[in-house]
Chains A and B, each alone.
Chain A
Amino acid sequence: MSRILTRGPVPIAANLTPMIDVVFLLVVFFVLVSQIVDLDRVDMDLPAPADAAALAASDDPRVVINLVPADNGGVEWMHLGGDVYSTEPSGRSELSRKLAGLLSSNPDLRINIRSDQATAYRHVSGALQAVRGAAGKAGVPAAHVNLVVIDDDPGRGRVSP
Chain B
Amino acid sequence: MSQPPSGHRRPRPRLTVPLTAMIDVVFLLLVYFMVATDFTANEAVYQLDLPPTSIEAAAALTPHEPPLSITVFATESPAASISVGPPWNVAGSCQALASFLNRNRATTLTAAGLFHEDHPIHIIPEDDVTWAHVVDVFDTVARQGFTNVGFAEASP
Contacts and interface: CB of A to CB of B under 8 A. Distances in A.
Interface of A: 2, 4, 6-14, 16, 19-20, 23, 27, 30-31, 34, 41, 46-49, 51-57, 73, 110, 112, 115-122, 124-125, 128-129, 131-133, 135-136, 140-152, 154-155, 157-161
B131 A118 contact: yes
Contacts of A160: 145
Contacts of A117: 130-132, 135
B64 interface: no
A151 B143 CA distance: 14
B59 interface: no
28 contacts: A4-B8, A11-B14, A13-B17, A20-B25, A23-B25, A49-B135, A52-B44, A55-B44, A57-B43, A57-B44, A73-B130, A116-B131, A117-B135, A120-B127, A121-B131, A132-B52, A135-B50, A141-B51, A143-B52, A146-B45, A151-B44, A152-B41, A152-B42, A157-B139, A157-B143, A158-B142, A159-B143, A161-B117
B2 interface: yes
Nearest to A13: B18
B51 to A, nearest CB: 5
The 7 A-B residue pairs whose C-beta atoms are closest, nearest first, are A136-B52, A117-B132, A54-B44, A151-B44, A9-B14, A146-B45, A154-B44
Contact of B145 (A30, A52, A135, A161): A161
Interface of B: 2, 4-5, 8, 10-18, 21-22, 25, 28-29, 32, 36, 38, 41-54, 57, 61, 72, 102, 105, 107-108, 117, 125-132, 134-136, 138-139, 142-145, 151, 153
Contacts of A9: 11-14, 16
Contacts of A136: 52-54, 57
A14 B17 contact: yes
Given A7-B10, A142-B50, A150-B44, A121 B125 contact: yes
Q: Which of A112, A143, A161 has the most CB of B within 10 A?
A: A161
Q: Which of A19, A46, A133 has the most CB of B within 10 A?
A: A46
B36 A115 contact: no
B135 A133 contact: no
Nearest to A135: B52
B108 A12 contact: no
A6 B9 CA distance: 10
B5 A4 contact: yes
Contacts of B14: 9-11
A34 B35 CA distance: 11
A46 B22 CA distance: 42
Contacts of B29: 23, 27
A147 B132 contact: no
B149 to A, nearest CB: 10
Contact of B44 (A27, A56, A73, A144): A56
B45 A112 contact: yes
Contacts of B139: 49, 52-54, 149, 157
